[in-house]
Amino acid sequence: MDEEELVELAKSKLRNSYAPYSGFRVAALAIAPGGKIYHGNNVENASYGLSMCAERVAIFKAVSEGERIIDTVVVVSDGGMPYPCGACLQVMAEFGVRRVIVAGPGSREIYELRDLLPRPFSPANLPHQPEL
């Protein structure tokens, strides 16, 4: 699938967004190196702080299905450009995301994760190295 097809696929999932408070619907795809695609949507909560971004839902679904590397994340919204938040960028770094495609109404931008988050916290910062 090319970038346009990925964006269209993600947009087809916007209807699953649960955003009754902000009205800002977001859908995401986490694409594993083998090409398998995991979908996610933002899920809001009446206690606002418990809301979860679409990107992390998609990545966590992939990881909980056994993936450990994510190649590409696609984030789309029909309410504006859904640039990933800092928490999502850090989670992307954890799982080796290379490319981030962001699309809003009428525009699409493609980034390397290292350009969006040039200095992520990493396992190298920990006093004890984890077995990943």
Known catalytic residues are 55
Ligand-binding site membership of 43 (annotated): yes
Binding residues for Zn ion, rule: CB under 5 A, are 53, 85, 88
Which residue, 7 or 75, is less far from Zn ion as judged by CB?
Answer: 75
Which phi-psi region, left, alpha or beta, contains residue 23 (left: φ > 0; alpha: ψ -120 to 50)? left
Q: Least distance in Å: CB of 53 to Zn ion?
A: 3
Q: Least distance in Å: CB of 39 to Zn ion?
A: 16
Ligand-binding site membership of 53 (annotated): yes
Which residue, 23 or 130, is less far from Zn ion as judged by CB?
Answer: 23
Q: Least distance in Å: CB of 75 to Zn ion?
A: 9
